[in-house]
Chains A and B, each alone.
Chain A
Amino acid sequence: MARMVTTRNKVISTAAAWLVGFLIFFPILWMVLASFKTELEAFAIPPSFLFFHWTTENYVTVQERSDYFHHALNSIIIAGGSTLIAMLIAIPAAWSMAFSPTKRTKDVLLWMLSTKMMPPVGVLVPIYLIYRSFGLLDTRAGLIFILCLGNLPIVIWMLFTYFKEIPKDILEAARMDGATIGRELIYVLTPMAVPGLASTLLLNLILAWNEAFWTLNLSTLEAAPLTVFIASYSSPEGLFWAKLSAASTLAIAPILVLGWFSQRQLVRGLTFGAVK
């Protein structure tokens, strides 16, 4: 017998879902609100939620003092570039490990993940020296390279688990029907892997966009992305919450919009293979 869904249950579960959604979204909402307050109001205790003197002066100050578009362009190039390169390396790697595993595949995967276990600050000085010698400090290429390396293990692992879910029988069936390897890849495998590829791509992009250790330490001016832009608005002596909130809102806006539009793919990718 099918489970009865009463109107009451529906209302309760909808309300609960909205509440959870609101709680998760609240820090971002609070940041956006703070960006429209004056510095004193942003710091006031008890804080005011909506009834304060709305102002856009923080956005004006931030625009005047920093070159937002320079930083945003750097973020797009660095996050986009490192994601694309990571995907280009990770897709064949994960593909081969998923479809023709060897005795050592598990070990290789574990070894790759183990590189993420060391705190980045542990290798800061060696990397800095290498970058200095190769002239990579404060270059977009240098940041693309390090972010790509940093995210590769996670990307390969994610893709590997998605590819494992694709039944081998389907490939065999396609071959029986006379499909070439090229056709098999384009018409059979790719459509099945699209949700997985899309969610990995987006997650990698978000990770690279938000990465704040290497981008802060290896860039100065020319290659400085939005993380450096945000870091310049915190002050040891003086109130800064409102301006920092305005800078942060500007910094997360592009990735927030991107995430909003691709959430269908993201959710599908994350739950891919959960139910058979």
Chain B
Amino acid sequence: MKHVLCAVAGAASLLISAPSIAQTTLTVATVNNSDMIRMQGLTSEFTAKNPDITVKWVTLEENVLRQRVTTDIATKGGQFDVLTIGTYEVPIWAKKSWLVPLDKLGADYDVGDLLPKIKDAVSVDGKLYAAPFYGESSMVMYRTDLFDKAGLKMPESPTWDFVVDAAKKLTDKSGGVYGICLRGKAGWGENMAFLTAMSNSFGARWFDEKWEPQFNSPEWKKTLTTYVDLMKQAGPPGASSNGFNENLALFSAGKCAMWIDATVAASMVTNPKDSKVADKVGFALAPNTGLGKNANWLWAWSLAIPAGSKKVDAAEKFIAWATSKDYTKLVASKEGWSNVPPGTRTSLYKNPDYLKVAPFAKLTLASIDAADPNKPTVKPVPYVGVQYAAIPEFQGIGTQVGQQFSAALSGSTTVDAALSAAQSATEREMKRAGYIK
């Protein structure tokens, strides 16, 4: 009887385990950006080559995704096998051992081809913890026709003085054209991404080497005063509620002479289907003040494997496929070179086919090269990250400070009051978190 039971149990376990050997289902969490949606559409190419793997997608809004994925990874819930995360999360999560290091991407993956600054941003202690899917910096996009009409010439690396001066000259409020469009909507990834990068170019920093907040420094005052004055004189009305998408719409409709924002916007504003000014856009590096830092950031949406996943091998295979040179070629063959995910590989910027359709490629590469997440500021800092400080507390603090600066822009508070409120809020949080006493 015992033997019979054993045999039945054995047969049952074989039956149960048989399908799991044959088929691994990967759950990939991602955001709703066009490059990710394209990847979703091309999944069948991956599964055709790997018939033992099925891929399922969970697409969520960025903040929902962040909360959802953080909860799951912190509790080792194991709901996801591949995560889409940014350069902000990678160092924090890697240090908590929440991510699996990617050391089996395969011989033909060519890690050396990844852009060095992007590779740095997703590595900790020389180990890759996420594979960059697309990378971006920020740059100036400007209307060549309006510049020509005003007799102005945009240098390749403009100063803030030039930008401020040009913005004022190009503003024609009665004609509905504003000299410059910048982010004003409060949020650590909204206005603070722009303002932190801008402050780097003015020599400011979030914290000194001892984690003391620096909003009481003259550099921050100069940054915020320049920003608020510029936007009051040459910005669109209601700028304090404008983020990336609002400014994209304004620029595409021909209402901004200049826009400083993510390099990925370049392909959107030069696409005649969505933009009224597609053939009149020029590009330049983000402005500087001659201190050696430009006001540009660095970000890469990257694919990583959470420590709780039980399907690490299959997940790594998928990541290697989605971030490979072959994937770039696949997208190019199906949807054209202008639609390939930008900003991750050196080889892309040497490809003549890509350079032909992407007039912004050279400046995108130069912008990415000009940002250094390990040395983001003029003065030394204890954190990594260009437009953020990669500490878990930054999301909360960044948003609080962002609200103050957004209020200064809308005029409901003054620059001085906003800076002192930002200083005290940041001090309080940093004391609470134990960085300072």
Contacts and interface: CB of A to CB of B under 8 A. Distances in A.
Nearest to A126: B75
A65 B43 CA distance: 13
Interface in A78-134: 124-125, 128-129, 132
A125 B250 CA distance: 41
A191 B67 CA distance: 47
A236 interface: yes
A45 B64 CA distance: 28
Contact of A239 (B71, B78, B274): B274
Given A137-B77, A237-B244, A239-B245, A216 B33 contact: no
Contacts of B32: 232-235, 238, 240
B189 interface: yes
Contacts of A217: 67-68, 71
Interface string B369-399: 0000000000000000000000000000000
Interface residues of A, number: 29
Nearest to B74: A125
B249 A239 contact: yes
Instruction: Name the residue in A65, A217, A231, A233 with the highest tally of chain B Cβ atoms < 10 Å from its Cβ.
Output: A231
Nearest to B301: A237
Interface stretch (B52-60, B103-111, B140-148): B52-60
Instruction: Name the residue in B76, B79, B268 with the highest tally of chain A Cβ atoms < 10 Å from its Cβ.
Output: B79
A236 B274 CA distance: 17
A240 B253 CA distance: 16
Contacts of A125: 71, 74-75
A40 B252 contact: yes
A218 B189 CA distance: 25
Given A39-B274, A234-B32, A240 B245 contact: yes
A40 B79 contact: no
A40 B253 CA distance: 8
Interface in B69-117: 71-72, 74-80
Instruction: Name the residue in B34, B40, B71 with the highest tally of chain A Cβ atoms < 10 Å from its Cβ.
Output: B71
B27 interface: yes
A221 interface: yes
Contacts of B250: 45
Given A44-B253, A240-B32, A232 B59 contact: yes
Contacts of A239: 245, 248-249, 274
Contacts of B79: 137-138, 220
B62 interface: yes
B283 to A, nearest CB: 17
Interface in B15-57: 27, 31-34, 37, 40, 56
Nearest to B33: A237
B80 A220 contact: yes
A224 B250 CA distance: 35
Interface in A189-220: 216-217, 220
B341 to A, nearest CB: 12
Interface residues of B, number: 39
Given A231-B61, A231-B64, A236-B244, A132 B77 contact: yes
Contacts, number: 89
B27 A221 contact: yes
B190 to A, nearest CB: 9
B27 to A, nearest CB: 6
A198 B231 CA distance: 55
Contacts of A221: 27, 56, 58
B421 interface: no
A128 B67 CA distance: 13
A65 B30 CA distance: 14
B331 interface: no
A45 B237 CA distance: 12
A231 B63 CA distance: 10
B410 to A, nearest CB: 18
Contacts of A138: 79
A240 B274 CA distance: 12
A228 interface: yes
Interface string A55-79: 0000000000100000000000000
A132 B71 CA distance: 11
Contact of A237 (B76, B77, B78, B264): B264
A128 B76 CA distance: 10
A129 B75 contact: yes
A157 interface: no
Contacts of B72: 128
Contacts of A220: 27, 58, 79-80
B80 A234 contact: no
A43 interface: yes
B262 interface: yes
A237 B262 contact: yes
Contacts of B60: 216, 228, 231-232
A139 to B, nearest CB: 11
B68 A216 contact: yes
A65 B249 contact: no
Nearest to B79: A220
Interface in B311-343: none
B249 A238 contact: no
A216 to B, nearest CB: 6
Contacts of B248: 238-239
Contact of B34 (A132, A216, A238): A238
A110 B189 CA distance: 42
Interface string A221-249: 10010001001111111111000000000
A65 B60 CA distance: 13
5 contacts: A40-B252, A43-B246, A224-B58, A234-B61, A235-B33
Interface of B: 27, 31-34, 37, 40, 56, 58-62, 64, 67-68, 71-72, 74-80, 189, 244-246, 248-250, 252-253, 262, 264-265, 268, 274
Given A44-B249, A240-B32, 16 more contacts: A40-B253, A43-B246, A125-B75, A128-B72, A132-B78, A216-B60, A220-B27, A220-B58, A228-B60, A231-B61, A232-B59, A234-B32, A234-B61, A235-B33, A237-B265, A238-B268
Interface of A: 39-40, 43-45, 65, 124-125, 128-129, 132, 137-138, 216-217, 220-221, 224, 228, 231-240
